[in-house]
Structure 1
Amino acid sequence: MPGLMLLLAGSVVAATPATPQPWFEFKDYPMQAFEKRWEGVTKFELLIAQDGSIADCKVTESSGHQILDQRTCFLASKRAKFRPARGPQGELAYGVYRSQAVWVFPERQMLNANPGPDLEVSVNKLPEGTLEPPVVKLAYAVDAKGNAGACSLMRSAPKQPSALVEVGCQQLLQRVSHTPVITPTGQAVTAVRTAAVKFNAGN
């Protein structure tokens, strides 16, 4: 586990969408799923290549219906365009972008569930200037063996106090299991991942 100063030394940049969202609309419903009134949330990861193209799509949590999951990856790969990730030295890198598609009929919009944080951390007190909700969205580098390196606040995220960012990075890299990023050809690559850490203040 490298020291915290090393983790924060290089600012990494996550892959970010260059096309507006949403990428999924009600008119995209597969006919079979529409007729059977199937609903669900498909969570997925896109592997963004160094040129910003989509190299792969993986379903990380199924909607419960294969046809909806397949439609999700098809549409995301077809419609989404990205600005590539950059590593701690400013070099182009693979990026992992995570999102979800909510397949729901218009009268049941309550199914639009928030994906929630990747990690929750308890602290005695939140620092002054903390924005609500007390969440830090982080970008961090992983090498071809899955070892985590530099970690920083995502550029598109709200500016939380640096103390929260430091603790968030430290806790994330200590407590979250990291696996290598694999391309469709089976090659393990250096990449930039993202995560959201939520802070809960004590009484």
Structure 2
Amino acid sequence: MNKLLGIGVALLGIAGPVAAREPTGPEPKTSPGSWIKDSDYPTDERFKGVSGATEFQLLVDVDGGVKDCHVDASSGSAVLDATACALLKARASFLPARDGSGRTIESIYRNRVSWRIPEGAVMPLPTPQSFTLIVDMDKDGVVEKCTVEKNADFPLPADPCMRYPVGRKGAAYMSKDGTPIATRLFNRVSMEVQPR
């Protein structure tokens, strides 16, 4: 009789309701700090001294892969933000999240990438940069239009056209025969770093 009672209790334990599990979030398979390295810093951003933090969220699929990346808070540089998402989508992998019954589910992983130029970092040669200020003046020397053309992301501290507002009177020029003529002023500024 004791044997029968023991078997009955054991069967009741197996047939009873399964305890619900605590849902789990996605777990990185490797250290998140290894996903982006100093060597991944975009060259032009490094040269310009651009730094900041990209706060992101990753959509993790049921297999633990990264399905999508969204920037929650920008570093202030679209290049750094886009680089972060591209690298995270390529390098991050997870143990997938699980719901209360243990099934793998899509989930969100949030973190941030701090873009800091390492102290004493050797800077790569930057892309040559230049801008041209173009000022159109009528025959009386009055500014009609001012535009700026840049060949790269040349950092301008202020709008160069502030010195040439439309309507401002400047120098008037004449042709060889003494007739006043309309003119176009070109002011080119360039920066290039070369090895020596």
TM-score, normalized by length of structure 2?
Answer: 0.49
Tell me: higher relative CO, structure 1 or 2? Use CA pairs within 8 A at least 6 residues apart. 1
Mark the structure with the bigger radius of gyration.
Answer: 2
Q: TM-score, normalised by structure 1?
A: 0.47
